[in-house]
A and B are shown apart, each in its own frame.
Chain A
Amino acid sequence: MNTVRGGYFGQILRVNLSTEEWVVERSSEGFLLQYIGGRGFGAKLVWDNLKAHNFMVDPLGEENLLVIAPGPLTGLYLPSSGKCSFVSLSPATGIYGDSNMGGVFGVELRQTGYDAVAITGKAEELSFLFIDNGDVSIIAAPELRGKGCLEAEGLIKQRLGDHSVHVAVIGVAGENLVSFACVNADWSRNAGRTGIGAVMGAKNLKAIVVRGSKDLPVYDLERLNQETCKAMSYIKNHKFFKLWQEQGLMCVIDYANNMGILPTHNFRDGAFVRSEAINGFTMESKFKIGDSACFACPMACGNICLVKDGKYAGTVTEGPEYESCAMLGSNLGVDKFPAILKANSLCDELGMDTISVGSLIGAVIEGYETGLLSLEDLDGEPIQWGDDEKIIRVIENIARREGIGEILAGGARKVLNHWPQLTPLLSHVKGLEQSAYDCRAAISMALAYATCDIGAHHTRAWTVAKELEDGQNWSLEEKATFVVYHQTIRPLFDMLGVCRLPWIELGLNEKHYENFYAAATGVELSLDDLMARSREVYDLTRLISVKRGVSRDDDQAPVRWLKDPVQTGMQAGKTIREDDFNEILSTYYRLRNWDDEGKPLPEIEKRFD
């Protein structure tokens, strides 16, 4: 019954940039079944590579492996099937790191006939990798040095004489090994977090270019079509469908502000008095000029925005989405939407993660305001809340590693090594800066950040809304159980290669996905079976981190969560109690079958041989 009859090409492309060799590796059926795809493939391949190097791998070294993996559902006719994972050891955290992007890149990559690409080594000079329907070439392109993402994309298309190729490219920040450099595709889609862009930069790999035209393998197209028609019709009839098309993730600004969890003034406040200047309605009525959707997505949550007048006139970008708008807006006290758009488009062009940028600059502004940083620390130029011109200069400085940017480019860990006095202000876990939901009113969210396998990011579990709405009386055990549930189902979407927003935002029944998976692969697995696979991958990413030195000490809450109450907004006065945190952490380890130090039990490791 469990025979893979579709969904995969069954081959992985391995490229060594140092030797300029490439080989095609057949995947075993066991591998496909156990790891499913996307981040599952990535985790397993990164694990094998680490083992081969006795776990001594420098994230920016030649030996680090970068895996780009869509999933078995990527590109198929089902809601929002455009996701592609970028997996590697993160230069920001030193442990497992991944980030995924939507758009079309992953679909085109699959159409080249590979389920995943695994890249190691380092090119002699700045180059791009061209995967052309199964054919592979490494093309030296030193002329791309210093070029922004969009500019480089255009130059590559020109050089290849084909504007229909898809390009995943790094900007100046990636070349300069900024530890939160991202990968950008098709102008506006980013694999933002964990510094995958720096991994590419360290490999002298400016871009990965794909051109594919193969049929995607599907076992039962008719069944897939029927299931999709049901799902699409559910989505199109949802009461929030229209709002979603109009505002996308920007509608979360008002929600977060009302709930008191909008990062404001470096997470000091939980609400922003000028939030109406940066919310979804402002975006939609004054700046939006078009919708943008990832592959096969009816929701089209992307917004194309244009600044029509003022000093940022002419700025056009896809975005900002919620995280970017909060971290570059309210978190820095910026209440001018055009300035946020400018900062966002600059981060896209330079190739940097907007969350980390917003978090680090926020800490610097607050540090200066509270006297922890001197004017000298800031290269003699003061910076304050809402000073958009200075903020934009600092963003450029970071990407080019100039002045204060040299320090910030190292990410939270390096910044705190240099300025230990900022420890109470800069919230991060394992070196990854906290993303844009305040967690002090919702301990499950704090636990989610603390135990997220890439650092303080909401990608694995986003429990804050549910806890604030329904979970005030939940026991710590119930909260920890909810976090584990989220950390199991959400990464499943990344493994299947689809977007989770139809499920999390519009409540599309998750049972659809077992049918999607079965129709694509011919393998009948229940949702529980699929979640068991996802849970195993979580054990695996934890093992990677543990082998890289992570223990309970690294799952601790940052100072601000424990000591510094939220100052304004609905959650004013809230902090996490340290006892509660330690208790919920122990409960969490128990639920995961990890020991009290957060180590998976020894027998778990054998499953990944």
Chain B
Amino acid sequence: MPKQLAVVPERCSGCKICEIVCSMSHFKVTNPKKSAIRVMVVYPHPVVRMPIVCSQCRVPKCEEGCPVDAIARRDGVVEIDRDLCISCLKCLKSCPFGAIFVHDDVEYPIKCDLCGGDPQCAKACPKNAIIFIPEHVLGQAQRLNNVLSYYHMKEIEYFERGEKKQIRYAEIGKEEI
């Protein structure tokens, strides 16, 4: 089942643990700047903390932007082929999310490879702001939200053991379109 790294910015506290563990697992060093994930922090209006990481797009813009065809998606991971890459950094700009990174000491662009299917950032995040979930789960929360906020719903109140409760229901076939 294909899985994706998803980010829930509302939960992120900006601690950067994801950046450290990424650099540790890929480069065996402690260096938040050598990571394939970056926590963006914006303040004070609005206050947002959002980890930026590759979405492994099915139609990768980085692939389109690569002049030497070094980028391709294989088994759900968008990979840079180091034999072909000329490190022109065009991919950094062509990614609409800015999810490819560069570091002086590293010859090639730094990009998320999902750690071979076990992303360390998702494992270490203390706030569950980075989650590794089956692709079909993406959007589930929004779908559910959408259903629950459907405005044609009716509400009734009732009492159960003296406690006031509420249920909502949609009447079948009564709404005009």
Contact = CB atoms under 8 A, between A and B. Distances in A.
B111 interface: no
B14 A298 contact: no
Contacts of B44: 150, 187, 316-317
A469 to B, nearest CB: 29
Interface residues of B, number: 31
B47 A289 contact: yes
B103 A216 contact: no
B32 A300 contact: no
B127 A213 contact: no
A216 B31 contact: yes
B33 to A, nearest CB: 4
Contacts of A236: 126
Contact of B127 (A75, A77, A289, A291): A291
B65 to A, nearest CB: 22
B21 A77 contact: yes
Interface stretch (B22-30, B56-64, B88-96, B168-176): B22-30
B10 A290 contact: yes
A111 interface: yes
Given A292-B13, A293-B15, A298-B17, A232 B47 contact: no
Contacts of A218: 29-30
B45 interface: yes
Contacts of B10: 290
A315 to B, nearest CB: 9
Nearest to B23: A215
A64 interface: no
B91 to A, nearest CB: 19
A464 interface: no
A282 interface: no
B16 interface: yes
Given A298-B17, A300-B127, A77 B30 contact: yes
Interface in A298-336: 298-300, 302, 304, 316-318
B31 A111 contact: yes
A298 B126 contact: yes
A77 B33 contact: no
B13 A291 contact: yes
Contacts of B13: 245, 290-293, 297, 300, 302
Contacts of A317: 44
B115 interface: no
Instruction: Give chain B's interface secondary structure class.
Output: loop
B16 A225 contact: no
Interface residues of A, number: 38
Contacts of A297: 13, 15
Interface in B43-57: 43-45, 47, 49
Interface string A440-470: 0000000000000000000000000000000
Nearest to B16: A295
B118 interface: no
Contacts of B36: none
B86 to A, nearest CB: 22
Contacts of B11: 291
Contacts of B157: none
Contact of A290 (B21, B33, B49, B103): B49
Contact of A215 (B17, B29, B43): B29
A300 B31 contact: no
A214 interface: yes
Nearest to B129: A291
A48 B101 CA distance: 43
A228 to B, nearest CB: 9
Interface string B117-134: 000000010110000000
Interface in B116-173: 124, 126-127
Contact of B15 (A111, A289, A300, A318): A300
A138 B14 CA distance: 30
Interface string A420-435: 0000000000000000
Most chain A CB inside 10 Å of its own CB: which residue of B21, B27, B29, B30: B30
Given A77-B24, A232-B126, A213 B17 contact: no
Contacts of A181: none
B68 interface: no
A85 B8 CA distance: 33
Interface string A186-217: 11100000000000000000000000111110
B30 A216 contact: yes
A327 B74 CA distance: 58
A1 to B, nearest CB: 24
B47 A77 contact: no
A104 interface: yes
Interface string A216-236: 101001000100000010001
A213 B45 contact: no
Contact of B126 (A186, A187, A290, A300): A300
Interface of A: 75-77, 104, 107, 111, 150, 186-188, 212-216, 218, 221, 225, 232, 236, 245, 289-300, 302, 304, 316-318
Interface of B: 10-17, 20-21, 24, 27-34, 41, 43-45, 47, 49, 103-105, 124, 126-127
Given A225-B24, A298-B127, 18 more contacts: A75-B30, A77-B17, A111-B33, A213-B31, A213-B33, A215-B34, A218-B30, A221-B30, A236-B126, A245-B13, A290-B13, A291-B12, A291-B127, A293-B14, A296-B15, A298-B15, A300-B15, A300-B126
8 contacts: A75-B30, A111-B33, A213-B33, A216-B30, A290-B10, A293-B14, A300-B126, A318-B43
10 tightest A-B CB contacts, nearest first: A298-B126, A293-B13, A293-B15, A300-B13, A291-B13, A213-B33, A215-B29, A216-B30, A215-B31, A77-B20
